[in-house]
């Protein structure tokens, strides 16, 4: 049986975030979840708390909607709660809310809010309007690249270059593709921009001041806002170790939960100011020059590594159920304890974590250490082999990419 007599959790996606959500719900309510995805990934394989149904056609929005509609008859009489694990599926649920909203709980922002927030151009404009700290930014519109691009920026090189449209860009394939580019001079800026547009990208590009530093200046924040648009939950984390594979820049493998009152208030001002609903995930950089934490981007769902909030005692996934299934009033919660979340063996973290964070990581680990996939009630021998293979892959990546470690 999936869920309980009151609700059925349906997760769209089969990666780390799917297991994160399933484990959080199992811990809170003792329920099994159903996950839908294109393939059964190792992170969710052989699990006793999560079943995976794989459909190759799930890359098609119409197929996603049709598959979900079939579940209405399969699970009658109970509240069906949908969790999206990646941006692609989040967009589908937002775009097709009119078709699905009567049969499923979809605690996400509406299409107008999503359009305003998911496009980085509009996101930074909103930060400016609400007085929320963010990096100084310039926008490059699609089309032929201006021969003078990069010659009169209000900040020095190197600079950050990244796509504004994070829905279509991940689906493009071209040589040298990266999630984020660190560009050394104007000539390289023009060349990379031209290559991205030539690959078929039709959105804006964002050129941004480079906030120098390793993981020690990186923060992550996950939040939940209730149906009235009021922020009810926030958990901030200090990134301890990121992925070093250039193709995976931006993903985290270790986080120390932390508390930053100024950052908390800035994000509250942002979320309440736009009337946000549901869970959000922010990437943040701490500017060493000013001591201010600046928002880089928002995802309209809980982050793939948001299980770190559980290390500090905050269960994001249960908030959907508490509010929409059981009608409970959500108390305001901001986690403050420093604990350690890891997605790889601890010895790998200690070996490769920046030196200035090593003592903090060890101290947090002594207070409490948690690994999303190592869940005692779900550790069959097959599951242990799956996790060992994942840990080995992560470990080898740090050895393989240590000489080409991403900077910033």
**115 domain residue, yes or no:** no
Three-class SS of the chain: CCCCCCEEEEEECCCHHHHHHHHHHHHHHCCCEEEEECCCCHHHCCCCCEEEEECHHHHCHHHHHHHHHHHHHHCCCCEEEEEECCHHHHHHHHHCHHHHCCCCECCCCCHHHHHHHHEHHHHHHHHHHHCCCCCCEEEECCCCCCCCCCCCCCCCCCEEEEECECCCHHHCCCCCCCCCEEECCHHHHHHHHHHHHHCCCCCCEEEEECCCCCHHHEEEEEEEECCCCCEEEEEEEEEEEECCCHHHCCCEEEEEEECCHHHHHHHHHHHHHHCCCEEEEEEEEEECCCCEEEEEEEECCCCCCCCHHHHCCCCHHHHHHHHHCCCCCCCCEECCCCCEEECCCHHHHHHHCCHHHHHHHHHHHHHCEEECCCCHHHCCHHHHHHHHHHHHHHHHHHHHCHHHCCCC
For the cut 50, the answer to whether the pLDDT of residue 146 exceeds it is: yes
- Pair (43, 189) in one structural domain: no
- Pair (84, 193) in one structural domain: no
Residues 112-138 have a mean pLDDT of: 91
For the cut 80, the answer to whether the pLDDT of residue 53 exceeds it is: yes
Residues 11-40 have a mean pLDDT of: 97
Scan for tokens 């080995």, then name that residue: 392
For the cut 60, the answer to whether the pLDDT of residue 406 exceeds it is: no
Per residue in 288-307, pLDDT (tens digit) is: 888 999 999 899 999 999 99
**114 domain residue, yes or no:** no
Asked if residues 401 and 246 have their Cβ atoms less than 8 Å apart, the reply is yes
- Pair (272, 392) in one structural domain: yes
**248 domain residue, yes or no:** yes
Q: Residue 141's domain is classified under what CATH number?
A: 3.30.1490
Per residue in 212-247, pLDDT (tens digit) is: 888 999 999 999 999 999 999 999 999 999 988 776
How large is the C-alpha radius of gyration of the chain? 21
- Pair (75, 23) in one structural domain: yes
- Pair (235, 200) in one structural domain: no
- Pair (260, 382) in one structural domain: yes
For the cut 80, the answer to whether the pLDDT of residue 6 exceeds it is: yes
**276 domain residue, yes or no:** yes
Please report the sign of the dihedral spanned by the C-alpha atoms of residue 39, residue 42, residue 44, residue 45.
Answer: positive
| Cα 353 to Cα 357: distance, rounded to the nearest angstrom | 7
Structural domain range at position 72: 7-106
- Pair (318, 172) in one structural domain: no
For the cut 90, the answer to whether the pLDDT of residue 57 exceeds it is: yes
- Pair (172, 96) in one structural domain: no
**55 domain residue, yes or no:** yes
Which pLDDT band holds residue 285 (cuts at 50, 70, 90)?
Answer: very high
**252 domain residue, yes or no:** yes
Residue 344 is predicted with a pLDDT of 94
- Pair (252, 356) in one structural domain: yes
Per residue in 349-381, pLDDT (tens digit) is: 999 999 999 999 999 999 999 999 999 999 999
* Cα angle 383, 57, 70; round to 5: 85
**123 domain residue, yes or no:** no
Q: How many domains does the chain have?
A: 3
According to DSSP, the β-strands at 333-334 and 231-242 are parallel
- Pair (305, 358) in one structural domain: yes
Per residue in 60-109, pLDDT (tens digit) is: 999 999 999 999 999 999 999 999 999 899 999 999 999 999 999 998 99
Closest by CA position to 37, among listed 20, 26, 51, 23: 51
Q: Residue 68's domain is classified under what CATH number?
A: 3.40.50.20
Which pLDDT band holds residue 407 (cuts at 50, 70, 90)?
Answer: very low
- Pair (140, 223) in one structural domain: no
**224 domain residue, yes or no:** yes
């Amino acid at each position: 049986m999936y869920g309980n007599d009151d609700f059925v959790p349906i997760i769209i996606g089969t990666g780390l975030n799917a297991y994160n959500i399933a484990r959080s719900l199992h811990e809170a309510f003792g329920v099994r979840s159903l996950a839908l995805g294109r393939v059964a990934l190792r992170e969710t394989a052989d699990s006793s708390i999560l079943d995976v149904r794989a459909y190759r056609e799930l890359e098609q929005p119409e197929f996603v909607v049709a598959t979900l509609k079939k579940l209405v008859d399969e699970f009658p009489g109970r509240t069906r709660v949908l969790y999206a694990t990646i941006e692609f599926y989040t967009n589908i649920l937002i775009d097709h809310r009119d078709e699905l909203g009567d049969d499923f709980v979809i605690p996400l922002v509406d299409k107008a809010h999503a359009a305003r927030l998911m496009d980085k151009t509009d996101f930074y404009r909103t930060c400016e309007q609400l007085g929320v700290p963010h990096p100084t930014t310039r926008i490059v519109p699609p089309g032929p690249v201006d021969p003078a691009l990069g010659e009169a920026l209000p900040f020095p090189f190197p600079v950050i270059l990244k796509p504004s449209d994070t829905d279509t860009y991940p689906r493009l394939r071209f040589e040298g593709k990266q999630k984020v580019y660190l560009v050394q001079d104007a000539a390289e800026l023009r060349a990379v921009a031209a290559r991205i547009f030539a690959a078929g990208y039709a959105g804006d590009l964002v050129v941004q001041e480079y906030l120098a530093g390793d993981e020690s200046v990186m923060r992550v924040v996950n939040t939940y806002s209730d149906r009235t648009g009021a922020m009810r939950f926030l958990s901030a984390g200090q990134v301890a170790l990121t992925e070093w594979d250039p193709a995976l820049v931006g993903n985290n493998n270790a986080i120390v939960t932390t508390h930053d009152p100024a950052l908390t208030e800035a994000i509250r001002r942002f979320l309440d100011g736009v009337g946000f609903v549901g869970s959000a995930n922010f990437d943040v950089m701490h500017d060493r020059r000013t001591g201010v934490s600046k928002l880089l981007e928002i995802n309209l769902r809980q982050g793939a590594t948001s299980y770190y909030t559980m290390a500090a005692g905050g269960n994001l996934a249960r908030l959907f159920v508490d509010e929409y299934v059981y009608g409970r009033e959500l108390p305001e919660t901001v986690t403050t304890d420093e604990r350690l979340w890891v997605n790889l063996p601890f010895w790998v973290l200690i070996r490769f974590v920046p030196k200035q964070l090593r003592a903090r990581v060890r101290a947090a680990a002594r207070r409490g250490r948690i690994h999303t996939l190592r869940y005692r009630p779900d550790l069959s021998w097959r599951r242990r082999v799956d996790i060992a293979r994942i840990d080995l892959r992560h470990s080898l990546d740090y050895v393989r990419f240590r000489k080409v470690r991403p900077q910033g």
